[in-house]
């Protein structure tokens, strides 16, 4: 299915997933306005949200199944396999977060159905961010996602730590957005375009790779994206925000927000800025510092939630290794790893939510002592998640890191690949103590794990995630092939499709 995005019917077809999900969001707003007082109203809003996400995923699948692609230059939204796969990641993560939230919200007495409205609109923003072919669309998606997540972080109005998390995230996020917007303005000033493909073409044909204005714009863009992915030294917000947020929201931010920011970063760098001098070494050092600092800081944590928060910083470093390669193999490695990371992180936060109460901020690693004897199924699931995060053979995390290593070596970045291996070894210092506490230490009392409860829906999510991690660790070929196809669909900057010259005059804005 060839779509001419200069025609409104074809543009609406390309935007159909976002339009469908936005329509569901507006419908949910009406439902929430009428029914917002009881737990039954909360469950109704949750099931509408699940329906919305599944139906939107079906629309994405319809476009993909019909081989939708842009005829000529994609002016506003990408129509490629990379967009479709990342959309499924965002929608799947949101759906799993909703399922994890059902019993959690009722248990914590967070009877706020607007929680699900915010999740829907945040997911719309992620889809625009990951699929935007124009800097304005990228910024629109980023802000829509960010504003919704700011509110989600402080959704528990009875929690002082939640209010602190939301305020800190909002203030620092506003500064990061300003850097990003100023970088976009400078990029437009240097190239005269906001369309990613046309920016790349201008850089290539006019020799703008060393333009001071474009270099400054690219630097500010990297700063803005580095904040969103929690790369060191722009990571200080992440542990406090994750720690103060409700646990399902923390999981959503650790997975979906990070994946969306990385998808946008991949597309901007790959399609528009590969000819710009200097960004490869910057991303190289960002990856190296983020891996080392994230792992070293996580070693010092004693609470499970903060340990997972700093762990997410370290994993941002691993994904930056894929970004720094600047190749289609790097894009493929990103897709595979983000799927594995989504499964293991969501399951780990779900089990943490079952163990703790009131935000789970006080659950220590030692509090898991004896869980293997008292709750063997939960202990096994958490052990698989920890080992996969570590990169233990036989799990999806191992295959993902191996794929990133291949991308780095293929791009001639052997030292960075070696540092990734060393950083993964360092992470054993905080992942393995969790496993040891569950299986090699006795519980402090017979009442230690009596209140640990994982509901049926959350249990189904955890079981599916664990099975997925083990299956992908043994039989990753299908997901690897999918990642290769979608990674290769992101066209290198300055390489225009074969179209008549007249189509190049299409206004990208």
CA–CA distance, 183 with 189 (Å, rounded to integer): 10
What is the C-alpha separation between 336 and 395, in angstroms, rounded? Answer: 13
Residue 336 to residues 107, 233, 381, 501: CA-CA distances in angstroms? 34, 26, 21, 37
Give me the pLDDT at residue 209, please: 76
Residue 456 domain-assigned (yes or no): yes
State which residues form the domain around 360.
278-493
What is the number of alpha carbons within 13 Å of residue 371 lying toward its C-beta?
Answer: 26
Q: Answer for the pair 336, 476: CB distance below 8 angstroms, yes or no.
A: yes
| CB 435, CB 383: distance < 8 Å | yes
Which residue's entry shows tokens 């190289």?
Answer: 284
> φ, ψ for residue 393 (rounded to 5)?
-55, 145
Does 116 reside within a domain? no
Q: What is the C-alpha separation between 382 and 379, in angstroms, rounded?
A: 5
Residue 505 has pLDDT above 60, yes or no: no
Helices vs strands, H then E, count in the chain: 21, 2
pLDDT of 491: 63
User: Residues near 4 by Cβ (< 8 Å), separated by ≥ 6?
Assistant: 10, 70, 71, 72
**Structure tokens that stand for 14 in this block:** 């390309």
Best CA proximity match to 198, nearest among 182, 212, 187: 187
**Stretch 451-466: mean pLDDT, rounded?**
86
As a whole number of angstroms, the distance between CA 86 and CA 77 comes to: 14
Backbone φ and ψ for 503, nearest 5 degrees, come out as -70, -20
Residue 29 confidence class, pLDDT cut points 50, 70, 90:
very high
454 phi, psi to nearest 5 deg: -115, 115
Predicted confidence (pLDDT) per residue in 144-163, tens digit: 999 999 999 888 888 888 88
- Do 45 and 31 meet the contact criterion of CB atoms below 8 Å apart? yes
Of the chain, the end-to-end C-alpha distance in Å amounts to 23
Distance CA 131, CA 323 (A): 17
Interhelix angle 456-474/81-107, rounded to 10 degrees, is 150
Write down the pLDDT at residue 57.
Answer: 93
Within a domain: 53: no
Per-residue confidence (pLDDT) for residue 509, from 0 to 100: 34
pLDDT tens-digit series, residues 170-229: 888 888 889 999 999 999 998 888 888 888 888 888 887 788 888 898 889 999 999 988
Cβ atoms 354, 374 nearer than 8 A? no
Query: Residue 415 CA to chain centroid, in angstroms?
Result: 26
Asked, as a colleague might, if the bond just before 325 is cis with ω within 30 of 0, I would say no
- Contact present, 88 and 11 (Cβ < 8 Å): no
> Which residues contact residue 230 at a Cβ distance below 8 angstroms, ignoring those fewer than 6 apart?
237, 238, 258, 312, 313, 316
- H-state helical runs in 326-413: 328-355, 371-374, 376-390, 396-410
Q: Tokens 């005829």, residue?
A: 71
Average pLDDT estimate for 101-117: 86
Q: How far apart are CA 409 and CA 30, in angstroms?
A: 52
pLDDT band per the 50, 70, 90 thresholds, residue 492:
low
CA distance 42 to 157: 17
Q: In the predicted model, what is the mean pLDDT of the chain?
A: 86
* C-beta of residue 498 within 8 angstroms of C-beta of residue 71: no
pLDDT digits (tens, 9 = 90+) for 378-436: 889 999 999 999 989 989 999 999 999 988 898 888 899 999 999 999 999 999 999 99
Residue 507, pLDDT score: 41
Which residue matches tokens 């999900």? Answer: 21
Q: Which is higher by pLDDT, 183 or 37?
A: 183
**199 within domain boundaries:** no
% helix, strand, coil for the chain, step of 5: 75, 0, 25
For residue 466, the cross-strand partners are none
Task: Give the model confidence (pLDDT) of 40-91 as tens digits.
Answer: 888 899 999 999 999 999 999 999 888 888 887 778 888 888 889 999 999 9
Let me know if residue 5 belongs to a domain.
no
pLDDT for 356 equals: 65
Instruction: Please indicate, yes or no, if residue 82 is contained in any of the structural domains.
Output: no
User: Does residue 109 fall inside a structural domain?
Assistant: no
Query: Domain tally for the chain?
Result: 1
Report the candidate in 92, 47, 10, 82 with the shortest Cα–Cα distance to residue 461.
Answer: 92
- 9 pLDDT exceeds 80? yes
The secondary structure element, H or E, covering residue 163 is helix 160-191
Residue pair 101/509 in contact by the 8 Å Cβ criterion: no
The answer to whether residue 10 is domain-embedded is: no
Yes or no: say if 440 and 455 are a contact pair by the CB < 8 Å rule. Answer: no
| pTM, full prediction | 0.88
Cβ–Cβ < 8 Å for 340, 388:
yes
Q: Identify the pLDDT of residue 48.
A: 93
- What would the pLDDT profile of 314-352 be if each residue is shown by its tens digit? 999 999 998 888 777 888 888 899 999 999 999 999 988
Query: C-alpha 339: how far from its chain's center?
Result: 9
């Amino acid at each position: 299915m060839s779509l001419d995005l200069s025609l409104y019917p074809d543009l609406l077809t390309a935007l159909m997933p976002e339009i469908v999900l936005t329509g569901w969001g507006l419908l949910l707003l009406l439902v929430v306005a009428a029914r917002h007082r009881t737990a039954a109203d909360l469950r109704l809003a949750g099931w509408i949200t699940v329906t919305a996400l599944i139906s939107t995923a079906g629309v994405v699948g319809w476009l993909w199944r019909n081989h939708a692609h842009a005829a000529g230059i994609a002016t506003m939204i990408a129509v490629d396999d990379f967009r479709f796969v990342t959309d499924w990641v965002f929608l799947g993560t949101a759906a799993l977060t909703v399922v994890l939230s059902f019993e959690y919200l009722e248990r914590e007495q967070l009877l706020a159905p607007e929680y699900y409205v915010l999740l829907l609109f945040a997911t719309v923003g992620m889809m625009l961010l990951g699929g935007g072919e124009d800097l304005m669309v990228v910024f629109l998606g980023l802000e829509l996602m960010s504003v919704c997540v700011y509110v989600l972080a402080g959704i528990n109005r009875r929690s002082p730590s939640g209010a602190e998390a939301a305020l800190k995230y909002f203030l620092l996020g506003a500064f990061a957005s300003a850097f990003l917007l100023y970088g976009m303005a400078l990029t437009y000033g240097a190239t005269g375009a906001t369309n990613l493909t046309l920016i790349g073409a201008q850089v290539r044909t006019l020799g703008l790779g060393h333009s001071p204005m474009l270099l400054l714009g690219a630097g500010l863009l990297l700063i803005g994206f580095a904040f969103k992915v929690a790369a060191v030294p722009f990571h200080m917000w992440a542990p406090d925000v994750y720690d103060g947020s409700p646990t399902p929201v923390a999981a959503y931010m650790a997975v979906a927000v990070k994946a969306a920011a990385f998808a946008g970063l991949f597309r901007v760098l790959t399609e528009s800025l590969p000819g710009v001098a200097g960004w490869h070494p910057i991303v190289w050092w960002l990856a190296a510092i983020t891996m080392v600092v994230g792992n070293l800081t996580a070693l010092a944590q004693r609470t499970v939630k903060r340990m997972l928060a700093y762990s997410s910083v370290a994993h941002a470093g691993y994904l930056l290794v894929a970004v720094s390669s600047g190749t289609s193999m790097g894009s493929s490695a990103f897709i595979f790893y983000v799927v594995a990371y989504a499964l293991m992180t969501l399951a780990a936060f779900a089990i943490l939510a079952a163990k703790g109460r009131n935000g789970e901020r006080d659950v220590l690693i030692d509090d898991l002592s004896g869980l293997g004897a008292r709750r063997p199924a939960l202990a096994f699931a958490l052990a698989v998640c920890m080992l996969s995060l570590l990169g233990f053979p036989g799990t999806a995390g191992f295959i993902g890191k191996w794929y990133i290593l291949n991308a780095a070596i293929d791009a001639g970045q052997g030292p960075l690949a070696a540092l990734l291996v060393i950083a993964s070894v360092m992470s054993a210092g905080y992942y393995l103590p969790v496993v040891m506490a569950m299986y090699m230490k006795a519980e402090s009392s017979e009442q230690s794990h009596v209140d640990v409860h994982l509901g049926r829906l959350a249990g189904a999510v955890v079981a599916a995630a664990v099975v997925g991690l083990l299956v992908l660790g043994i039989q990753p070929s299908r997901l690897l092939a999918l990642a290769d196809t979608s990674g290769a669909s992101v066209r290198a900057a300055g390489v225009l499709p074969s179209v008549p010259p007249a189509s190049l005059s299409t206004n990208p804005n």
